[in-house]
């Protein structure tokens, strides 16, 4: 039973971590290096994350600076950013690339808040699915005679408590991200 509960909690933790990563990649008007996490450059024939071939830093509130370690990769990085869906056009001087984040319009802010809500809801669905799977495993263990009725009830309660904790955490993080988007 402990194994099932531990596995369920780990999976819920991974769901929360994925949500955090998705929130970090949201372009909320401020320069954030995490928006480049999903952008890969075709560097010597293999897809390579920008962070592995260049120094990425925030030089001003709305400016992200990319300094390639190999000056010849500057054009490759530029092209990869243009092909990506981050919606910012890179400005390059041949050695340094700058991404200037435009201020968000009210309409765009509302759109981002909706996206944040959808991501949170998807994460909650995933957590509830993990709960359902864990409870099914516990019921199968009881049916096989590995658990007593009391153990099953206790396992279900612990699973529900863990689920509630993660749902509350997801709601709190979604609310914080929505406030961040609306106040920038």
* Residue 1: predicted pLDDT: 84
| pLDDT digit string, tens, across residues 107-131 | 888 988 999 999 999 999 999 999 9
- Among left, alpha and beta (phi > 0; psi -120 to 50; other), residue 89 is beta
Residue 37 CB neighbours (<10 A) = 15
Which residues of the chain are in CATH 1.10.132.20 domains?
A: 2-24+105-183
**What DSSP element (H or E) covers 167?**
helix 149-183
CATH 2.60.40.650 fits 33-100, yes or no: no
| Architecture of the CATH domain 2-24+105-183 | Orthogonal Bundle (1.10)
The model carries a pTM of: 0.74
Please spell the DSSP secondary structure of 103-119, one letter per residue.
PPPHHHHHHHHHHHHHH
Q: What pLDDT was estimated at residue 184?
A: 66
Which pLDDT belongs to residue 140? 92
Q: Per residue in 81-90, pLDDT tens? A: 888 877 788 9
- The pLDDT tens digits for 18-61 are 999 888 877 666 777 888 888 889 888 888 898 889 999 988 88
CA angle 162, 165, 170 (to 5 degrees): 125
Per-residue model confidence (pLDDT) at position 137: 94
Torsion of CA 159, 161, 167, 171, to 10 degrees: -170
Under DSSP, the state recorded for 102 is P
Q: Is 66 helix (H, G, I), strand (E, B) or coil?
A: strand
Query: Could you tell me which residues are beta bridge partners of residue 68?
Result: 54
Domain with CATH 3.30.1360.40 in the chain: 33-100
């Amino acid at each position: 039973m402990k194994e099932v509960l531990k596995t369920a909690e780990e999976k819920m933790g991974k769901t929360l971590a994925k949500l955090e990563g998705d929130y970090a990649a949201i372009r909320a008007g401020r320069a954030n290096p995490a928006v480049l996490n999903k952008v890969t450059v075709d560097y010597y024939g293999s897809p390579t994350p920008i962070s592995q071939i260049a120094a990425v830093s925030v030089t001003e509130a709305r400016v992200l600076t990319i300094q390639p370690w190999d000056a010849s990769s500057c054009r490759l990085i530029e092209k990869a950013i243009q092909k990506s869906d981050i919606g910012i056009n890179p400005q390059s001087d041949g050695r340094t690339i700058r991404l200037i984040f435009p201020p968000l319009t009210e309409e765009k802010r509302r759109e981002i808040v909706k996206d944040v809500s959808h991501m949170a809801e998807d994460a909650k669905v995933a957590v509830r699915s993990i709960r359902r799977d864990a409870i099914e495993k516990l019921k199968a263990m009881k049916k096989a005679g590995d658990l007593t009725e009391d153990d099953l009830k206790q396992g279900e309660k612990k699973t529900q408590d863990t689920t509630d904790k993660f749902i509350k955490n997801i709601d709190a993080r979604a609310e914080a991200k929505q406030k961040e988007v609306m106040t920038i």
